[in-house]
Structure 1
Amino acid sequence: MTIDQNQLRLLPSIDELLQSTGGSGLIAHYSRSMTLRAIRAALAQARQDILDGSTCPSSEQLLVAAEQILQQVMRPHLQSVINATGVIINTNLGRSPLSREALMAVQEVAGGYSNLEYDVETGRRGSRHTHVAALLCELTGAEAALVTNNNAAAVLLALSTLAMGREVIISRGQLVEIGGGFRVPDIMRQSGCQLVEVGTTNRTRIGDYEAALSERTALLLTVHPSNFLISGFTESTSTAALAELAHRHNLPVMDDLGSGCLLDSSQYGLTHEPMPQESLAAGADVVCFSGDKLLGGPQVGILLGKAEILARIAKHPLMRAMRIDKMTLAALEATLRHYQRDEATSHIPIWRMIAARPESVAARASRWAAKLRAQGIAARTQRGESTVGGGSLPGEMLPTTLLAIDAALVSQSLDEIAKQLRLRSIPIITRILRDTLLLDPRTVLEEQDKEVILGLTEVVENTVK
């Protein structure tokens, strides 16, 4: 291929572009250093295009290319997305969205100073833990409460305080692996305690725990296997039975619930998820769980239990390394207030999704399909299932109605359409099953409906056969 050197010579210099009206505008908006890098990148691409046979772009075209580069560079890396996957607590997509009230509380506290560690009544230093401790105790019946930055931290902190250098007895069937490849045995070892496994994977009886007791035993630990199911020939030991055995030997029982559900999930067509208040009533001395799963709040680890034990945990040096910040505390308090006012299912997004009636989800899907068909897009609805996700209620499904676009009716591959939806300024995350692009209205916030229709229209309209 013959290279037209004249086309290369027509390219403007970097200074010409920087000093132009358009260049000055970019500098004013993005800074000179960023604009300089973008213009260099635009010119480099133009040179390569000319070498490949293209003609020289105009200065205006080069500045447009530079602006597109700047827009891409300035696009937030962590951004909001629309979850149309049907997975309610989607770990990859940030788990539980916060309520409007929680968002307002964060904004109110983060925008200025706060009484994070200041007692306004006495005028003296206070504790950040007092802001939610009483509320947690009211909702669960606990004597005391602490909050860390996540549940793995809560487990590590409690075991470091109560069992360092001693033995912790746990059922072999509860040695779970949580998200990101983190395993409960590894967390336990980091706390300095010695793991003592009892029973088998599918059956662990109270006698197995009792046989393992020794003078080095520090506590009995139970971990809710929230992200998998063992069914069939199984047997496990109740928290009440463990507490009776432990207390007979002056030992504490710690219950890691994982999800931390404050509502009875069986009222919403799901199996019953263990609740903190039930575990405490059964005799557990320490209960811990996450805040951003079935609680529907921010990422925290919540510790509940006996006042004397939690006071010891609060004094551990690791507590400072694992404490939460003012914004998380504000969001957590606002979330807990919804439970206090008996409005969780109407105000907390994940519970609004879980409690949504099948007919209301079907009506939304039908409206989506009708609007898309009006744009010439062959959309339809079909029955499907939503899942709770987030390591909560494994295997549990909720009936739903999905928006469906069939591969046979579009010219582009569904993978490409899904990719284009993901690459929008407001990404829409979908799923593909059996040559069909599927979107579940259950996990889409109602205020996002218009954006879903807009995104599908933009991406799919030109691919219709």
Structure 2
Amino acid sequence: MNHDAFRSIPPVNTITELISDQFGSAITNEVAGSLAKCVQDQVRQELQSGLQDDPGLLVTRRLKQLAQTLASPRLGRVLNGTGIVVHTNLGRAPVSERTSHAMSTAASSSVALEIDPVSGRRGGRMDEISTLLSILTGAEQSLVVNNNAAAVLLALTALAQGKKVAVSRSEAVEIGGGFRIPDVLAQSGATLVEVGSTNRTYARDFARAASDGAELFLKVHPSNFSIQGFVASPTLAELRDVAVSTGAILIEDLGSGTFVDTEAYGIDHEPTVRESIVAGADVVTFSGDKLLGGPQAGIICGKGRLIDEIAAHPLARAVRADKTSMAGVAETLRHYLRGDHETSIPVWMCIAASESSLRLRAGCIAATLDSGENTVDVATSVNYVGGGSLPGQSLTGHAVRLKASTSGEATELARSLRQATPVPVFGRIEENAVLVELRTIIPRDDELLTESMRNVLASLPD
């Protein structure tokens, strides 16, 4: 360990002065002192890890990173040119303009969240959304929590604690972020009873589990995977018949949860929430920020008495949605009531975009950017819905292709696009080129996209 290097680390008061000079009145003196201690600690850790750089240079580098963080919030706007419509790493579904306005209004003002405007008496926070969902799905009652993982955990904790829950072996899965169905069941206090086999499960397997004491059946819709070949799985209607005859409660985790017939867009059928309710599921859970196209939320629909029981559980308070999310979910649902989801909700605008329109847009942007050196053209590509929706399904896309000489140059070009102005652009690398997919960028953003790409290309060395 180089003790001289540690002794060369600038003292806190010196770093504090540098911070105060750099940021002025943007931060208080107290904050400047705290930041100085943090910077000093970070530099010390870097030296302990074996870094040989001059401590003064390390401080300067840290201050530069700090300035970028304070000037440009990480959660600022970016353009999704990846070709993945619901991109988890980019925040999943962007909401519609009307939904964004409703959420902004709710966040910046008082709202009649739990009060009846007519009587002035305390009202239910779920009244509006429950009515909308009843119309759209046929469910007797609904509840909104902060995400679908919470919805599944809450439903199982409230209804299955201390009880046996039958799950097909093919559905005892991990669906992302370490969220495993067996772990959720254990956390809820339920006992997992695996039935059937990995590739073939029948309704009679659930009937046998019920005769051995299983009081709930859990059906999990495959989100990030599909099993093909010699397979069999009971339909929801078949499970309902077994549940009715045995007195078991039937819960379905739909995952994405759509209100739209996906076959109309050239992709396989995804079960709708209404279909699950009609088929006889007692409780259905799904996400708000995937195919629904709304804000992050977990939605629980189903039989009134069961939803009441779930809502009354203490955990429901811990995972309930705030007024902003509630306003966003309600406004998103209204798009489906009006039938304007395809022209208003970004997820469905992207999925519904025709190949011809994507090709035309990509061609126009490429022509604008082309300098005559054949470095920009249009590429036919493969797009995906993403977000754990419709695994194995793809859509034909068209992208603006920025060519590079080597894979290293392509990597640098992609990095430059992610730092572009006026808006960062996230694309994908394919061979020695960066592809910016038009399907996942709303047409009204084409001018911004063109400007950002032009600025990046102009900054490249000749």
| CA deviation profile, 1:354-374 (whole Å, cap 9, x unmatched) | 001111111111011001114
Distance 1:70 1:388, change over 3 A: same
Q: Is the 8 A contact 2:81 2:427 kept in 1?
A: yes
* Aligned counterparts of 1:257 and 1:182: Cα–Cα separation in 2: 15
Q: Is the 8 A contact 1:368 1:403 kept in 2?
A: yes
Output the amino acid matched with 2:376: A
Quote how far apart the aligned CAs of 1:66 are. 7.6
Q: 1:121: which partner in 2?
A: 118
| CA deviation profile, 1:245-296 (whole Å, cap 9, x unmatched) | 1101122211111010100000001100011111111111111111111000
Q: Does 1:315 align with 2:307?
A: no
Distance 1:304 1:357, change over 3 A: same
Q: 1:206: which partner in 2?
A: 203
Q: TM-score if structure 1 supplies the norm length?
A: 0.86
User: Aligned-residue CA RMSD in angstroms?
Assistant: 3.2
Q: Does 1:219 align with 2:216?
A: yes
* Aligned counterparts of 1:24 and 1:417: Cα–Cα separation in 2: 34
Q: 2:395: which partner in 1?
A: 398
Quote how far apart the aligned CAs of 1:131 are. 2.4
Quote how far apart the aligned CAs of 1:230 are. 0.5
Q: TM-score if structure 2 supplies the norm length?
A: 0.87
- Greater shift after overlay, 263-272 or 214-223? 214-223
Q: Is the 8 A contact 2:420 2:455 kept in 1?
A: no
Equivalent position to 1:382, from 379, 382, 394: 379
Distance 1:331 1:26, change over 3 A: same
Q: 1:188: which partner in 2?
A: 185
Q: Is the 8 A contact 1:89 1:96 kept in 2?
A: yes
Q: Does 1:424 align with 2:420?
A: yes
Distance 1:24 1:432, change over 3 A: closer
Q: Which structure is larger by alpha-carbon Rg, 1 or 2?
A: 1
| CA deviation profile, 1:286-335 (whole Å, cap 9, x unmatched) | 11111111000011111111111111111111110110000000111110
Q: Does 1:295 align with 2:292?
A: yes
Aligned length: 436
Q: 2:273: which partner in 1?
A: 276
Equivalent position to 1:239, from 236, 243, 259: 236
Q: Is the 8 A contact 1:246 1:252 kept in 2?
A: yes
- Residue 70 of structure 1 aligns to a residue in which SS? helix
Q: Does 1:341 align with 2:358?
A: no
Equivalent position to 1:130, from 100, 105, 127: 127
* Aligned counterparts of 1:345 and 1:247: Cα–Cα separation in 2: 38
Q: Does 1:266 align with 2:263?
A: yes
- Residue 221 of structure 1 aligns to a residue in which SS? strand
- Residue 145 of structure 1 aligns to a residue in which SS? strand
Equivalent position to 1:448, from 445, 449, 461: 445
| CA deviation profile, 1:333-356 (whole Å, cap 9, x unmatched) | 110000000011010000000001
Output the amino acid matched with 1:137: S
Distance 1:66 1:391, change over 3 A: closer
Q: Is the 8 A contact 1:38 1:70 kept in 2?
A: no
* Aligned counterparts of 1:115 and 1:159: Cα–Cα separation in 2: 30
| CA deviation profile, 1:391-448 (whole Å, cap 9, x unmatched) | 000111111111112222x897111111122233532111111222111011012232
Q: Is the 8 A contact 1:148 1:322 kept in 2?
A: yes
* Aligned counterparts of 1:284 and 1:66: Cα–Cα separation in 2: 56
Output the amino acid matched with 2:418: R
Output the amino acid matched with 1:323: R
Q: Is the 8 A contact 1:133 1:144 kept in 2?
A: yes
Q: Is the 8 A contact 1:26 1:67 kept in 2?
A: no
| CA deviation profile, 1:122-161 (whole Å, cap 9, x unmatched) | 2111221112010001000111111111111111111111
* Aligned counterparts of 1:285 and 1:411: Cα–Cα separation in 2: 53
User: Identical aligned pairs, as a percentage?
Assistant: 42
Distance 1:397 1:25, change over 3 A: closer
Q: Is the 8 A contact 1:375 1:457 kept in 2?
A: no
Which aligned runs of 4 or more in structure 1 are off by greater than 6 angstroms? 34-41, 65-68
Equivalent position to 1:413, from 406, 409, 412: 409
- Residue 451 of structure 2 aligns to a residue in which SS? helix
Q: Is the 8 A contact 2:82 2:426 kept in 1?
A: yes
Q: Is the 8 A contact 1:139 1:340 kept in 2?
A: yes
Q: Is the 8 A contact 1:292 1:299 kept in 2?
A: yes
* Aligned counterparts of 1:68 and 1:392: Cα–Cα separation in 2: 36
Question: In the TM superposition, what are the counterparts of 1:2-151 in structure 2 within 5 Å?
Answer: 26-32=23-29, 70-151=67-148
- Residue 391 of structure 2 aligns to a residue in which SS? strand
- Greater shift after overlay, 241-250 or 206-215? 206-215
Q: Is the 8 A contact 1:89 1:388 kept in 2?
A: yes
* Aligned counterparts of 1:28 and 1:292: Cα–Cα separation in 2: 39
Q: Which runs of 5+ in 1 are unaligned?
A: 1-12, 46-51, 54-62
Q: 1:370: which partner in 2?
A: 367
